[in-house]
């Protein structure tokens, strides 16, 4: 078997290997190849810095890296790792990283990062053996918003450039896919909640797929979380919230109070190279 870059590999081949690798996974994954084409493009996947393990001409395992500069460092975010069932237990992920790390360093990458479901202890152990450390813990939620308050709110739709993203709170705690540099190219809508002629909070949502990408309180006052989620509910009654950092206790407590289900929990792991 041999490791090669994925830049010249047909996209359908990569997706077929991905879907076979994620059969019977912890969560059900979408099967539409266009979903992955769009998602990985938004995430800034670079196939020239993504890698696959080949048995002859057959792709049997892969690491798909998104590449971007964050906080002054060029980072390779592993947006997908997989090995098809017949080839598991052969240390393929470790072998791919053995090949990838020198190449990533040669191309100016200073850090690798990834997300892994907490229950996937086998994968976590593998990544720790490669050199990754846990740096964040996330919770994910979905469901219909259940609010008791009928308070009227002032909801203002704006665009991405309305925000000074360098001054928005907790930006360093969002995961890769919901970082401001990623969402600006997605199909998102941007809203502000106005209270007493001032912007009290904001949220970013895609009503088509119900992803709530970002939401923050900017001015704390009684009922501010209620007003924020009343605004969200006006745009999308059902929502999916991916990767809320567990250090944001007030945010998580309010999410739990409005009837959303905790669907899965993840770690973010990173490794300086």
Tell whether 81 and 182 lie within a shared domain: no
151 and 257 fall within a common domain = yes
Report pLDDT for 168.
97
CA distances from 193 to 35, 102, 157, 212, 223 (A): 31, 47, 9, 15, 12
pLDDT at 182: 94
Structural domain harbouring 146:
141-266
Task: Kindly state whether residues 170 and 257 are assigned to the same domain.
Answer: yes
Q: What is the pLDDT of residue 130?
A: 97
| Contact between 134 and 100 (Cβ < 8 Å) | no
Task: For 160-175, write each residue's pLDDT tens digit.
Answer: 999 999 999 999 999 9
Same domain, 161 and 258: yes
What CA dihedral angle connects 262, 267, 268 and 270, to 10 degrees?
180
Report the pLDDT value the prediction gives residue 192, as an integer from 0 to 100. 98
102 belongs to a structural domain: yes
The tally of domains found in the chain comes to 2
Residue 88 lies in a domain: yes
> 146 and 249 share a domain?
yes
Q: What's the CA gap between 179 and 176, in Å, rounded?
A: 5
Q: Tell me, yes or no, whether 136 lies in a domain.
A: no
Check residue 26 and give its pLDDT: 80
Instruction: Pick the closest to residue 226 from 117, 168, 150 (CA basis).
Output: 150
pLDDT at 71: 85
Q: What DSSP letter does each residue of the chain carry, written as one string?
A: -EEEESTTS-HHHHHHHHHHHTTT-SSPPP--HHHHHHHHHHHTB-GGG-EEEEETTEEEEEEEEEEEEETTEEEEEEEEEEE-GGGTTS-HHHHHHHHHHHHHHHTT--EEEEEEETT-HHHHHHHHHHT-EEEEEEEEEEEE---------EEEEE-GGGS-GGGSTTGGGS-GGGSHHHHTTSS-EEEEEEETTEEEEEEEEETTTTEEEEEEESS--TTHHHHHHHHHHHH-SEEEEEEEETT-HHHHHHHHHTT-EEEEEEEEEEEE-
Mean pLDDT in order along the chain per 10 residues (273 residues): 97 97 86 93 97 97 97 95 95 97 98 97 96 98 91 94 96 96 94 97 96 97 95 96 97 96 97 97
Same domain, 145 and 104: no
Task: Indicate whether 128 belongs to any domain.
Answer: no
Determine the Cα–Cα distance for residues 230 and 248; give it in Å rounded to an integer.
Answer: 20
Question: Is residue 162 located within the same domain as residue 251?
Answer: yes
Angle at 181 between CA 178 and CA 185, to 5 degrees: 85
How much is the pLDDT for 24?
82
User: Taking a C-beta distance cutoff of 8 angstroms, is the pair 47, 13 a contact?
Assistant: no
CATH classification of the domain holding 217: 3.40.630.30
């Amino acid at each position: 078997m041999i490791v090669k870059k994925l830049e010249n590999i047909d996209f359908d081949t990569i997706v077929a290997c991905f879907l076979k690798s994620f059969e019977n996974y912890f969560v059900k994954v979408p099967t539409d190849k266009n979903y992955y084409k769009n998602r990985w493009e938004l995430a800034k996947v670079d196939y020239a810095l993504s890698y696959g393990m080949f048995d002859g001409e057959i792709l049997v395992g892969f690491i798909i890296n998104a590449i971007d500069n964050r906080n002054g460092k060029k980072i390779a975010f592993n947006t997908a790792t997989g090995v098809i069932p017949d080839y598991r237990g052969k240390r393929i992920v470790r072998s791919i990283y053995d090949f990838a790390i020198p190449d990533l360093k040669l191309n100016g990458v200073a850090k690798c990062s990834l997300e892994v479901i907490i229950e996937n202890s086998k994968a976590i152990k593998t990544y720790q053996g490669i050199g990754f450390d846990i740096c964040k813990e996330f919770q994910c939620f979905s469901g219909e918003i259940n609010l008791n308050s009928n308070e009227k709110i002032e909801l203002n739709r704006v665009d991405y450039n309305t925000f000074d993203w360098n001054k928005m709170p907790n930006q360093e705690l969002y995961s890769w896919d919901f970082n401001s540099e990623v969402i600006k190219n997605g199909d998102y809508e941007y809203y502000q909640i106005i209270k007493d002629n001032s912007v009290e909070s904001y949220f970013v949502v895609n009503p088509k797929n119900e992803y709530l990408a970002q939401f923050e309180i900017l001015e704390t006052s009684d009922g501010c979380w209620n007003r924020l989620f009343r605004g969200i509910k006006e745009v999308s009654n059902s929502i999916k919230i991916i990767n809320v950092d567990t250090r944001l206790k007030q945010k998580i407590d309010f999410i739990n109070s409005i009837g959303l289900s905790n669907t899965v929990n993840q770690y973010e792991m990173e490794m300086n190279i």
